[in-house]
Structure 1
Amino acid sequence: MRKIYALIFFCFTTSLAFAQHLISGTIKDNNGQPIPFTSVYLKNTTTGTSANVDGKYEMKLKRGQQTISFRAVGYKQQDHIVNLDRDITLNITLASESYTLDNVNIRANAEDPAYEIIRKTIAQRKTHLEEVKAFSCDVYIKGVQRLKGAPKKFFGRDIQKTLELDTNRKGIIYLSESQSKFSFRRPNDVHEEMISSKVAGRNNAFSFNKASDLIINFYDNYLLENTLSSRGFISPIADNALFYYKYKLLGESTENGQLIHKIEVSPRRVNDPVFRGIIYIMDESWRIYNTDLYLTKQAGINFIDTLNINQQFTKVKDVYMPTGINFQFTGNVLGFKIAGYYLGVYSNYNVNPNFPKNLFTGEILKVTEMVNKKDSLYWVENRPIPLTADEKINYIKKDSVAKLKESKHYLDSLEKDNNKFSIGKLILRGYSQNDRYDKHSLSFDPVWRAIFYNTVEGLAIKYGVTYRQEYENRRFYSIRPEVRYGFANQKLTGSITGNYFYDPLKRASYGGSFGNGIFDLNNLGSMTPLGNTINSLLYEKNFPKYYYKDFVSLYTTRELATGLQANLSADYSHNKALANNSTFKFFDAKDREFTSNNPFVPEAEVPLFPDYSSLSVTASLTYTIGQKYITRPDGKFYTESKYPKITLLYKKGLNNVLGSDVDYDFVKAEIFEDRIGLGLWGHTSFLVGVGKFLNNAKMYYPDFKHFSGNISTIFPPNLRKFQYLDFYQFSTKEQYFEAHLEHNFAGFFMNKIPLLRKLKLEELVGGGYLSSPEKRNYKEFYFGIQRLVLRASYGFAYDGAKKINQGFRISYGF
């Protein structure tokens, strides 16, 4: 019995020792206004939280005496000793920080003392950047996006109903929270495991929050490259910062025994890619203590108008780590006025972690099956930042509506309205018959895109319907029948294509197609049907050339290892050369006639090749160096790699198998890299490829290695595409070498021209090179300007040393 009493007493005293109590309250300034996002931490620790946007905070702590620090940028830190033997309310009033210049002598015409402080900080920049070799911590991220105003309708849709806004078309359009365990090892190893995730109105969704996205390190020279701008932004303490920034010492104060310098930073030139605002530097160690910096349109940001970055650092052993990071933004896009923030609270740092051996792989974020299954009680107990009144309403309203939307009755009523047929919809946008409850759809192509003209078929129509059935975790299969008919050649063709995406984690699928059809002689394509229709009917130019084939194709693809994708395919076809059957045009150009369908004999309809059969097998491996990815229950999601992508391919034409008439062996190697960041100088992309037919005993033109050419003024951009190369003349059955290089200066020069900088134009230069037995030493160079998805350029093409072409090119990336 005594043992039982002793056990009861032990359990009771242990529960008292580990009991937690809630401390909560509101943090305001001397004028009674709430101070948003104030840091609330146990003194001299990284255990803490943040106030919400209304200044309200709450934190659970062990019973007993505790010292709590309240800290906000621009306010004097306050420490409060509390004795937690019950839940308590502690409201705080923070006084504005008074930064004085009492100890600073500023002489007339002398350099501001801030410059010497910044020089010392720059001298220590690399040391502070690299002093923490590794760390782990807990991260809570909250993201809120609001509409402050919107048009009544957008593309015919009622915005208030679509986005579930109030009558003034205002409200929260995105609200999410997540908790993660974050690990980092220098130089760039990252691993994050999401513990919980919640998204308002999306009960089965995963938050887009990622701790590594919020970490912004002002000890780096350049920040936010290829995100809000094509080039990066210069840190106020970058090695070359003195060339771009002006500094002003606003004052000094003492916090936690440390002398803190408050320094205003501003651009030397209004439109330089730099920050504005305040940076707080610690004396003697020359570390960053706080940042309150922002970017504006003048700095060259896209999509938003302003971005404010607020950071607070806390001492962890002998270093300082960020404990609060807040990104606040505003913008106006197509009449939609947006505002919001992403807040990261970093706690429980370990700056000397002992990581498991295989923690750091290509996986930067792991999201498990149960992450989004936490109930409301869990969040009440574990949410470190209290919700505001409208956030509570948003969760309740959107989660209730989400459950309603999952019901068959609701989805049936919704689809009844959405699935209404109209001729206008079918012609312009296509028509879809959706069943969201059973997760399948039937989509009919837009009619206007199905009608075209070419000289082989005359007026033609190519029309398809796609059926898609979805399953859990993004698995799906699709089936697409397609028919094509030419009124001039009176030829009806058709095919069926199927695809099954069966393993999202391995990016695995298989599929195939069979039927017959009319295809471009260049398997990389030449002109779009619409582009060729316009050129043929208006200008009497029929650039694309076609052939007919009956075919069966099978393929499979699967990831073998991180960043390594394998593809295997087999193709059987019976091929026939075609001739023109129509000479119709709207305008008869007196100095021009349609050419034949043989690109090598434009004056006569001579068959390019005899009828023949072909069976080929293709195997390829594509490896992305340093590939990073996110793992979720619904798939594996690659992020952009900083390193090149390498492709190896082997293709075999099989002779005397199933009547095949071809015999060849082709190998190819390519290396490709997109958007190599070069700081203020923009970014570079390149592609280099080499290939050879090891055996070309029996081949016909469709089996040749073709190149992506262009002879149109307007075309869709592609780094692989030569801008002045003929579509067909230089295809080879021997060997080749090709290279493409393009550099985007991201406004480096245009930004310095007052009348042009507001247009945010980006300068670009580029070129291509091709060498093969058919075309030795072909070169082209171009230069131009770009704005988002539109670009205009002017270039020159050379055959050896001889200039063979020049002209304007306009491209679009819709």
Structure 2
Amino acid sequence: MRYLILFFAVLSLHAAGQQVILSGKITDSQGNPIAFASLYIQGTTIGTSANEYGQYQIRLKPGKYGIDFRSVGFKQQTEQVELVADSFAHNVELTYEDYQLKQTAGQGEEDPAFEIIRNVIKKRQYHLTEINQYACDVYIRGIQKLISAPKGRLIRGVAHELQLNLDNNSILYMSESESRFNFQQPNNFKEVMMSSKVTGNYNAFDFNRAAKLQLNFYRNMLDIEGLNPRGFVSPIADNAMKYYTYKLLGSTVESGQVIDKIQVIPLDDRDPIFKGNIYIMENDWRVYKAHLYVTNRSNLNFVDTLNINQQYIPVNDGKWQPASVSFTYSGNVLGFRYKGYILGNYSNYDLAPQFPPHYFNGETMLITQQTTKKDSVYWRKKRPVPLTPQEQQNYNLKDSILKKHETAAYLDSTERANNKFSPASYAFFGDTVKHRYKNEVLTLNPLYETIIYNTVEGWAVDLKPTYTKKFGFGRQYTISPEVRYGFENKIFSINTGFNYAYDPTNQGVFYGRVGTGIVDLNSEGSVGIFLNGLSSLFFKDNFLKLYRSKYLMAGMQREVARGLLLDGSMEYARRNALQNTSNRTVWKFPNKEYTSNNPLNSNLNAPLLFPESNALTFKISAIYTFDEEYTTRPEGRVYDQSKYPKIRLSYRKGIKNWLGSDVDYDYADIQVFHNHINLGMYGYSSFLITAGNFFNDKAVSYPDYKWFKGNQGITFTPGISQYHFLPYYTYSPASFFEAHYEHNFSGFLFNKIPGLRKLKLEEIVGGNYLTQKLNPAYTEFYIGVQRFFFRFDYGFVYRGAGHFDQGIKLYYGI
């Protein structure tokens, strides 16, 4: 009897754990597939979505179910099914939506849609915050296909290797991911990615994580990362009626609720705003579903048109959450036409999750080593949306190619080809030698940075190879020696740097450098060695001022608490001033002379800038990031852009008499900065404010002064602390205050000008300010235009009360 009871118990457990695969196809009345339709079990948030061809599948326990099938543009339809076997096929035909217009606006009267939208706006904040916390499962799939390519631009060998068939919409990129998304008001979230599978390279905006995929129309601005830097105004934003007009298209009843279909019409479609339809649930005044799109007239990046379909489902107690969202898009880059989609499916909502204490600790996403290790058997069992035949073929093909590429023979042949020395490439870009098996990389700086010229050394050779060895979990060390010889001053220098990332999770790094070197007097960096050589040889302008240092330095950094990064180092250096030894030029300048290597005295016979100086220096700094957020990956953390400014405190001490050190000073500064303040429709801003002082300056040598990022050439490198016209060697041992501000309108102005709209230019304005106790106030104002890595600025300079200078500055990505 005991064994009989045990037998039936085991049999019951087997039956309880058995699952039936319900599958089928969702079509319209003409038999056309309805892409990305959603289906949910009535009374639950268990559901899934159909694929691109309307095919769906869901795993359920045996039993009777009522299933709601929905898609934007169609009536909701409930199907009753009973599942008893291992699999059950059930096709569904949806009927097109039928919205009846009960009332129309008379001539001169306001459309009824406006009053509906006002009611929704009044409840916007309520719906935004009505759910205090929740957790849900999110499945995301992204596909990008190549439609056509210009003749001659797609190399036959590349097309064959990637198995691209332009007649069959070849898949360039495909990704899938499963996550558990956790949220808590006001804006805390953590996503745990359980599995991920990716093939190919992505060339559009990225939504491979649930936090980026969620489009919450109850927010005033919707940020679709990578698509438009200004974001998009929601049709139900507080100020939506400044950007939209509305038209009521009709009403219907679904599940006992009156649903209004409202057309969303831009007042100016050049602004980053939506077109399309939004569906509103009357009385509750919430979004029921939406079908919206944006076009390239809104100054989009990467794509020409983007369509968005989003649906909501009831969770419990009258609260609704997103059920599914799909993006379909198309684009054209240099004649390569592509299209794609991104599908997100939300299920298994829990509105009362038990988060442990301190669960929301700044970690917004967790990706473990096992996330990408799930095999095809796992995906066949867990994938909620079936693959299309082309998608399955793509996986099979790319998986076989990947296996081939991971063989020793292939990697050896690839490394031999990739590591082959190319003189032309080395001249402009340097050279890189990789050994994948050993996780080693050797890089050489390009030729134009190796053979150099300056008036201190004359022609010189500066070899700076870098060797990197990587280990597991993101740990790595880097060795960076430098060998330098000046042919006219006959000075040979050699030094070696070392960097060991021992704790990538907490930014833990040991670093150091020892040897002799030729060093820029401006520790912040002035003109590049290559550009200085060109300006010297062709224009007889030797901006760069150098000195020699024999030094030993060691330091470490680590994040000791959330948002608090400490960095400390100790350095001993023997510094010697240098003089010019060369006056070479390509062209003769009879009325122009080189300046000396002493920035205080331009006369060629000027004395040395400073006597030999020994310095033992201690440095420590602390950077604090408010509300720091990050993604944890197997190789370490990737930090998100903070909404708040950062604060940096720095202290530097010149220690006298130890090891013969002859410096004696105390310097400290405080800095507040932010690199990206999102201002929505108006672009983004960045700023930096610094105040500093030598509180003790008993013995300060020129290399120890506080320097600034000046610029005297026609080119510049954009950066929030970079001046446009400030002389490179402006300094003071006294107190100072500097402020920098820059705003990028991101096309807000140019997008309204027909001739400029297609260029997608970004308008920039900014200013820089510096005041020191011993120098008059210095002020710059500039305006500029930018596109990718090209930028053109025009600026004005004021020193004290009068105008000082003006001119053009260029940046071209080098």
Relative to structure 1, the CA distance from residue 150 to residue 559 in structure 2 (aligned partners, 3 Å threshold; closer, same or farther) is: farther
Q: 2:195 touches 2:372 (CA, 8 Å); kept in 1?
A: yes
Partner of 2:240: 241
Partner of 1:620: 621
Superposed CA deviations along residues 761-806 of structure 1, whole A, max 9, x for unmatched, are: 2322211221222324222222233333332222222222122222
Partner of 1:287: 286
Relative to structure 1, the CA distance from residue 208 to residue 31 in structure 2 (aligned partners, 3 Å threshold; closer, same or farther) is: closer
Asked if 1:524 is matched to 2:534, the reply is no
Relative to structure 1, the CA distance from residue 155 to residue 463 in structure 2 (aligned partners, 3 Å threshold; closer, same or farther) is: farther
CA distance in 1, matches of 2:283, 2:468: 65
CA distance in 1, matches of 2:254, 2:277: 17
Relative to structure 1, the CA distance from residue 156 to residue 532 in structure 2 (aligned partners, 3 Å threshold; closer, same or farther) is: farther
Q: 1:233 touches 1:680 (CA, 8 Å); kept in 2?
A: yes
Letter in 2 for 1:186: Q
Superposed CA deviations along residues 651-670 of structure 1, whole A, max 9, x for unmatched, are: 11122222222122211211
Q: 2:554 touches 2:570 (CA, 8 Å); kept in 1?
A: yes
Q: Summarize the alignment of residues 193-208 of structure 1 with structure 2, pairs less than 5 Å apart.
A: 193-200=192-199
TM-score, length basis structure 1: 0.95
Q: Summarize the alignment of residues 702-741 of structure 1 with structure 2, pairs less than 5 Å apart.
A: 702-728=703-729, 730-741=730-741
Superposed CA deviations along residues 517-558 of structure 1, whole A, max 9, x for unmatched, are: 211110111111222122222222111111111222222222
Q: 1:757 offset after TM fit, Å?
A: 2.6
Moved more, 783-792 or 692-701: 783-792
Letter in 1 for 2:6: L
Partner of 1:610: 611
Partner of 1:438: 438
Length, aligned pairs only: 807
CA distance in 2, matches of 1:467, 1:751: 46
Q: 1:46 touches 1:349 (CA, 8 Å); kept in 2?
A: yes
Q: 1:290 offset after TM fit, Å?
A: 0.8
CA distance in 2, matches of 1:803, 1:69: 72
Q: 1:238 offset after TM fit, Å?
A: 1.3
Superposed CA deviations along residues 171-209 of structure 1, whole A, max 9, x for unmatched, are: 22322222111111111100111222222379xxxx982
3-state SS in 2 of match to 1:687: strand
Partner of 1:342: 342
CA distance in 1, matches of 2:373, 2:51: 24
Q: Summarize the alignment of residues 410-449 of structure 1 with structure 2, pairs less than 5 Å apart.
A: 410-449=410-449
Partner of 1:551: 551
3-state SS in 2 of match to 1:592: coil
Asked if 1:637 is matched to 2:662, the reply is no
Q: 2:111 touches 2:247 (CA, 8 Å); kept in 1?
A: yes
CA distance in 1, matches of 2:525, 2:220: 43
CA distance in 1, matches of 2:444, 2:762: 39
Q: 2:207 touches 2:342 (CA, 8 Å); kept in 1?
A: no
Q: Summarize the alignment of residues 534-683 of structure 1 with structure 2, pairs less than 5 Å apart.
A: 534-603=534-603, 604-683=605-684
Partner of 1:57: 56
Superposed CA deviations along residues 388-414 of structure 1, whole A, max 9, x for unmatched, are: 112212222222222232222221122
CA distance in 2, matches of 1:163, 1:494: 46
Partner of 2:784: 784
Letter in 2 for 1:85: V
Superposed CA deviations along residues 151-175 of structure 1, whole A, max 9, x for unmatched, are: 5777999542564534769522322
3-state SS in 1 of match to 2:401: helix
CA distance in 2, matches of 1:50, 1:123: 32
Q: Summarize the alignment of residues 5-44 of structure 1 with structure 2, pairs less than 5 Å apart.
A: 5-44=4-43
CA distance in 1, matches of 2:337, 2:629: 34
3-state SS in 2 of match to 1:165: coil
Partner of 1:67: 66
Q: 1:567 offset after TM fit, Å?
A: 1.3
Q: 1:718 offset after TM fit, Å?
A: 1.1
Asked if 1:369 is matched to 2:369, the reply is yes
Moved more, 161-170 or 386-395: 161-170
Q: 1:149 offset after TM fit, Å?
A: 3.0
Moved more, 212-221 or 427-436: 427-436
Partner of 2:465: 465
3-state SS in 2 of match to 1:714: coil
3-state SS in 2 of match to 1:478: strand
Letter in 1 for 2:595: T
Relative to structure 1, the CA distance from residue 408 to residue 153 in structure 2 (aligned partners, 3 Å threshold; closer, same or farther) is: farther
Q: What percentage of aligned pairs have identical amino acids?
A: 45
Superposed CA deviations along residues 56-99 of structure 1, whole A, max 9, x for unmatched, are: 10001121110111111101111110111112100111121122
Letter in 1 for 2:619: T
Partner of 1:796: 796
Relative to structure 1, the CA distance from residue 110 to residue 19 in structure 2 (aligned partners, 3 Å threshold; closer, same or farther) is: same
Relative to structure 1, the CA distance from residue 502 to residue 405 in structure 2 (aligned partners, 3 Å threshold; closer, same or farther) is: farther
Relative to structure 1, the CA distance from residue 725 to residue 430 in structure 2 (aligned partners, 3 Å threshold; closer, same or farther) is: closer
Relative to structure 1, the CA distance from residue 349 to residue 239 in structure 2 (aligned partners, 3 Å threshold; closer, same or farther) is: same
CA distance in 1, matches of 2:221, 2:616: 53
Partner of 1:684: 685
CA distance in 1, matches of 2:166, 2:138: 36
3-state SS in 1 of match to 2:212: helix
Q: 1:201 touches 1:401 (CA, 8 Å); kept in 2?
A: no
Partner of 2:212: 213
CA distance in 1, matches of 2:63, 2:550: 82
Partner of 1:322: 322
CA distance in 1, matches of 2:757, 2:564: 42
3-state SS in 2 of match to 1:661: coil
Q: 1:24 touches 1:90 (CA, 8 Å); kept in 2?
A: yes
CA distance in 1, matches of 2:161, 2:492: 43
Partner of 2:104: 105
Letter in 2 for 1:672: F
CA distance in 2, matches of 1:119, 1:152: 53
**Which runs of no fewer than 5 residues in structure 1 stay unpaired?**
none
Q: 1:487 offset after TM fit, Å?
A: 2.6
Moved more, 81-90 or 445-454: 445-454
TM-score, length basis structure 2: 0.95
Q: 1:226 touches 1:677 (CA, 8 Å); kept in 2?
A: no
3-state SS in 1 of match to 2:467: strand
Letter in 2 for 1:304: V
Letter in 2 for 1:716: T
CA distance in 2, matches of 1:292, 1:606: 75
Relative to structure 1, the CA distance from residue 743 to residue 418 in structure 2 (aligned partners, 3 Å threshold; closer, same or farther) is: closer
3-state SS in 2 of match to 1:653: strand
Relative to structure 1, the CA distance from residue 492 to residue 156 in structure 2 (aligned partners, 3 Å threshold; closer, same or farther) is: farther
Asked if 1:808 is matched to 2:813, the reply is no
CA distance in 1, matches of 2:480, 2:571: 18
Letter in 1 for 2:740: H
CA distance in 1, matches of 2:296, 2:157: 30
CA distance in 2, matches of 1:550, 1:782: 40
Letter in 2 for 1:383: R
Q: 2:675 touches 2:720 (CA, 8 Å); kept in 1?
A: no
Q: 1:18 touches 1:63 (CA, 8 Å); kept in 2?
A: no
3-state SS in 1 of match to 2:186: coil
Partner of 2:119: 120
Superposed CA deviations along residues 616-669 of structure 1, whole A, max 9, x for unmatched, are: 121111111111011122211111111111111111112222222212221121
Moved more, 687-696 or 452-461: 452-461
Q: Summarize the alignment of residues 184-199 of structure 1 with structure 2, pairs less than 5 Å apart.
A: 184-199=183-198
**Which runs of no fewer than 5 residues in structure 2 stay unpaired?**
none
